[in-house]
């Protein structure tokens, strides 16, 4: 993809690949564990993420969840290199709304990222996302459209907008997913990104 310029910012291209496993602990509670590799083509560092997420169905159309995540940031550029670590805790709530055609999912999340090793800052972020699953008759790879706004707290006070599209399908007991989103950062000192995503859940 071509590199685009927005003021002082640049646009980079990333590829995220995720492998996860979902287990139902009860009729209402599920647990998903997985790992994700984020290859970042450009000046950014590649990352390996390990995560576990718990989700509980409160009502038929409402869920609450908690996600714990560990980041291993692979820095192989510049004079200071190594693998630096971050942690993140996220609390979220999801509401499902049936439409005349398809379903809308609304998610609101609060998360705190903190530094374990290496430089950088801890960061608090609130996120709101709307996702629309559009069914197509006799087609198993139904599209999903989403828009998400991320609002960061101190010390950066940055904000981002994500616009994405994707699809998923179950094949042989595995759920395969593929997607793309564009992230627009509203700070002229940060980067924007094209992100291609693939995933397998079993």
Condensed to tens digits (0 to 9), the pLDDT of residues 24-48 reads 999 999 999 999 999 988 667 899 9
Which pTM does this prediction carry?
Answer: 0.89
- Binned at pLDDT 50, 70 and 90, residue 188 comes out as low
- Asked if the structure places residue 56 within a domain, the reply is yes
Locate the DSSP E strands across the chain: 5-6, 9-24, 29-41, 46-59, 62-75, 82-98, 103-115, 123-133, 143-152, 159-171, 174-185, 192-201
Instruction: Count how many domains the chain has.
Output: 1
- Asked if the structure places residue 7 within a domain, the reply is no
Helix, coil or strand: residue 115: strand
CATH classification of the domain holding 64:
2.40.160
Give which of 112, 116, 91, 185 is closest to 154, Cα–Cα: 112
- Asked if the structure places residue 4 within a domain, the reply is no
Percent of the chain with pLDDT over 90: 77
Q: Do residues 149 and 160 touch, judged by C-beta distance below 8 A?
A: yes
pLDDT in tens, 101-146: 999 999 999 999 999 998 888 999 999 999 999 999 999 999 999 9
pLDDT at 6: 38
- Asked if the structure places residue 6 within a domain, the reply is no
pLDDT in tens, 50-59: 999 999 999 9
pLDDT at 119: 81
Helix, coil or strand: residue 38: strand
Q: Which domain holds residue 115?
A: 12-201
Please state, rounded to an integer, the average pLDDT across all residues of the chain. Answer: 91
């Amino acid at each position: 993809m071509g590199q685009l310029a927005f003021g002082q910012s640049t646009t980079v291209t990333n590829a995220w690949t995720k492998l996860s496993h979902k287990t139902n602990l009860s009729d209402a509670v599920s647990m998903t564990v997985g790992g994700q590799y984020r290859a970042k083509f450009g000046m950014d560092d590649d990352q390996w993420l390990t995560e576990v997420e718990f989700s509980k169905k409160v009502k038929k159309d409402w869920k609450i969840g908690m996600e714990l995540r560990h980041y291993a940031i692979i820095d192989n550029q510049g004079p200071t290199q190594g693998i630096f670590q971050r942690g993140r805790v996220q609390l979220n709530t999801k509401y499902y709304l049936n439409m005349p055609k398809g379903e809308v999912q609304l998610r609101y999340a609060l998360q705190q990222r903190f530094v374990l090793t290496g430089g950088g800052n801890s960061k608090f972020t609130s996120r709101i996302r709307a996702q629309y699953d559009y069914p197509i008759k006799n087609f198993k790879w139904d599209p999903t459209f989403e828009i998400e706004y991320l609002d960061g707290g101190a010390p950066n006070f940055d904000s981002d907008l994500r616009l994405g599209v994707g699809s998923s399908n179950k094949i042989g007991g595995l759920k395969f997913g593929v997607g793309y989103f564009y992230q627009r950062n509203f700070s002229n000192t940060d980067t924007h990104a094209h992100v291609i995503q693939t995933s397998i859940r079993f």
